[in-house]
Structure 1
Amino acid sequence: MPSVRVVSLVPSLTEAVAVTAPGTLVGATDWCTHPADLDAVRVGGTKNPDVPAIVALAPDLVIANEEENRAPDIAALRAAGVDVLVTEVRGLDQAFRELERVLDACGAERRPGWLVAAEAAWRNLGAPSAGATRHAGRLRAAVPIWRRPWMVLGRDTFAGDLLARLGVDNAYAGHAERYPRVPVEELRAAGLDLVVLPDEPYRFTRDDGPEAFPETLPAALVSGRHLTWYGPSLAEAPEVLGAALRAVYR
């Protein structure tokens, strides 16, 4: 039996703990899709977890995130006597620090091989490759994350930081909101070089998203897991995201 019983309410942290310390997780959300063979009780969604079910699992620790999970649910768990570790991730460097903190709290190896590899992958990035295939400068992009209504990445986001490291600057990085609603008409007229469309949380596809923008505006469909998850996927994210960004300028 594992020495620490953990419930994770954050899909990317679920994967991080599961691959580092198998058997530690006793509960996870319905959205925790990695690893595929995860054996843990499902406790609802990230925004609507089943608090009584979590308490019934008698966890030593619940892992949450200040953005993905709701404050009332975290407060309810704490009121029930459950220890909750709340992470904050607004950029890549902070993600690495928080991953170490989470793994340590779970009694797992603080710096497993996948985390060391992820740090190296991002540290050893060459010159931004996406923009180099088009012009000497950087690419200016909007990054929608929802449709009906259209919402985009705004200021101070983890995904925006990853894209910036790959040579793509978020056109709404200076917005007052972190995830502003922006009419598609404004996006079309924003003078963008590119629109980046992840497949989560909204599942943008080639038939649902790019057609809303001018045919002259390149649209890069990217893996949401590699753009927004902070966990083992970070080790391959530079290659996966870079390839998707380069593909639109071949």
Structure 2
Amino acid sequence: MNTFYDQLNRKIELKETPQRIVSLVPSQTELLVDLGLEQQILGITKFCVHPEDLRKQKKVVGGTKQVHFDRIAALQPDIILCNKEENTQEMVTELEKIAPVHVSDIYTIDDSLELIRQYGEIFQVIDKASEIIEKIELEKADFQEYVKDFPERKVAYFIWKNPWMVAGKDTFIDHLLELNRFKNAFLEEDSRYPEISLAQLDEREVEVVLLSTEPFPFKEKDVEALKKEVKLGCIQVVDGEYFSWYGSRLKAAFTYFRKVQAVLS
């Protein structure tokens, strides 16, 4: 029996290296593929959109907040992969009746790298995990050197409208904003994803508004509409996957951040 601990320090006991995986977190599904584990993935969510054709090949067992437990049980998984924010405690409790459950808990890139290390150990792909970690660390270091002299700008990062919602404190998004030398204007709110009014943009002296493509699919038309409502010229649609997916997508995130910085400069 092999014993592991997930990112909530929950004990996971596995008889052998898992060969039948159900992943209920899109960014973690993509990570599994990049770790060379695509064949071992049996079940995924409807939001697991990378690689693009994966949903045609695997069993879709629901979303991230609601799943079909019977579909998951029928797959006879060796392990089920969850995330504290993406999935609910009630789901995890029910899933543990089916198979061991690993729960990730991500706030920083260091947390992301630890998750990749854990997967490397659990699935016996340590070399591949180390390769991904090294790539992310190098890209991060290069990007930090690139932006070190950039002026800090106050930002609002919108994730929803009707009502307007932004990323706040203790979020992975905020961590990546900070790496981009953006100062989050809504860190003082109680909620991690607070509802705000557009009037607060002026009150908080926001300089840059970023409209994420997920979970609400902001588009360029939203930029034009918002410009009519607020006196702020620096409004940009950004790829939400690069600001919120914490798996192997981070390998390309810093190249994307350079593009964002170039547009905003």
In the superposition, the TM-score normalised over structure 2's length comes to 0.85
Q: TM-score scaled to structure 1, two decimals?
A: 0.90
Which of 207, 222, 228 does residue 244 from structure 2 map onto?
Answer: 228
Q: Which residue of 1 aligns with 2:107?
A: 90
- Aligned counterparts, 1:31-50, within 5 A: 31-38=47-54, 39-50=57-68
* 2:159 counterpart of 1:145: yes
What are the Cα deviations for residues 216-240 of structure 1, in whole angstroms up to 9, with x where unaligned? Answer: 3301221111110012210111120
Query: Separation in 1 of the partners of 2:149 and 2:219?
Result: 23
Correspondences of 1:1-250 after superposition (within 5 Å): 4-20=19-35, 21-38=37-54, 39-78=57-96, 80-109=97-126, 111-127=129-145, 129=147, 132=150, 137-209=151-223, 211-213=225-227, 214-249=230-265
Closer/same/farther in 2, CA of residues 37 and 61 from structure 1, 3 Å limit: same
More helix by share: 2
Name the structure 1 match of 2:10.
none
Cα 1:226/1:130, change in 2 over 3 Å: farther
Q: Percent identity?
A: 28
Q: How many residues end up aligned between the 2 structures?
A: 243
* TM-aligned CA distance change 1:181 to 1:3, over 3 Å: closer
**C-alpha distance in 2 between matches for 1:119 and 1:130:** 16
Q: In 1, are the aligned partners of 2:158 and 2:167 still within 8 Å (CA)?
A: yes
Query: For the aligned residues, what is the CA RMSD?
Result: 2.0
Shift of 1:131: 7.6
Pair 248,162 (structure 1): closer, same or farther in 2 beyond 3 Å: same
AA aligned opposite 1:243: K
Relative to structure 1, is the Cα distance of residues 104 and 40 closer, same or farther in structure 2, using a 3 angstrom cutoff? farther
Q: Unaligned stretches of 5+ in structure 2?
A: 1-16
| 4+ runs deviating over 4 angstroms | none
Unaligned 5+ segments in structure 1 are none
Q: Report how far residue 98 of structure 1 moved.
A: 1.5
C-alpha separation in 2, matches of 1:174 and 1:123: 29
